[in-house]
Amino acid sequence: MNEVNHVKAPQDSGVPEWARDFSVADRVVVITGAGQGIGRELARQFGAAGAIAIVADVQLDNAQKVKAEIELPGGRAAAIKVDVADEASVNAMIQSVVDQFGRVDVLINNAAIFASLEKRKFEFIPLDEWDRVMRVNINGPLLCARAVAPVMRKAGWGRIINIASDAVPKGVMNYMHYVTSKSAMIGFTNAMARELGEDGINVNCVRPGAVATEVERAVNPTQDLKRNQIAQQCIKRGMEPPDLVGLMMFLSSPASSFITGQTIACDGGYTHSS
């Protein structure tokens, strides 16, 4: 029988306590949809910070490329194929992580359908497209959280971070299925934080602004739309994936131990200034 390569829980490395509180070193971090876009950047940066980045994606080739990017400079990572809308696939993914590393410290529910969507008034959204968005964007985080909760509960420590969108407070037109699914993440977070708080598991939600990534979109925003959004922000520049990293690492670290059930905007003050 092969010996399971369990990683050790984070230890006292001799650095000041306050610095250890902000560290994600040696944390096992599962990031869904990490084969591209925001998820890819998060996986790369968590790996660079000393975490074990679990690159979970429906496209295994993409996940393996990100794993290689993390490992090239000496980081630790694993690539796992997962369809977050399929319960058996999610359960197998989490079991694989536990088998390899012994635990799951952080789950980032990043996988979602958006870039491939065409703009349509709600009366014309095909019902099968609506259902597909809900299966991935709502059922996916539910299934992933269900799978990791017993593992985190046993450890008495865990972080679950859900991703919403600034499209929610703005009520962005012609993407009602996406806006609805991301609205659900806020209520989902509030309820789950209540249920898991006594188990040492913190559940929070991040609401990013419009992020420019390498992912091609079915409908690209015009330059006028981009300029208009930046003009409404407090910070006058476009948002990029690295802008999320600090907040996500903080919410994944011991430093956020008394923060749960919160939705935190990271959008340059776009919704603040409206």
Q: Which residues are catalytic?
A: 178
DSSP strand E in the chain: where? 28-32, 52-57, 76-81, 106-109, 158-163, 201-208, 263-266
Q: Whose structure tokens read 């985190």?
A: 152
Residue found under tokens 């600034």: 166
| Helices 176-196/140-155 angle, 10° precision | 20
How many degrees, rounded to 5, is the angle at CA 35 between CA 33 and CA 37?
80
The rounded distance, in Å, linking the Cα atoms of 213 and 238 is: 11
Give the integer Cα–Cα distance in Å for 25 and 114.
31
- Which DSSP category does 138 fall into? I
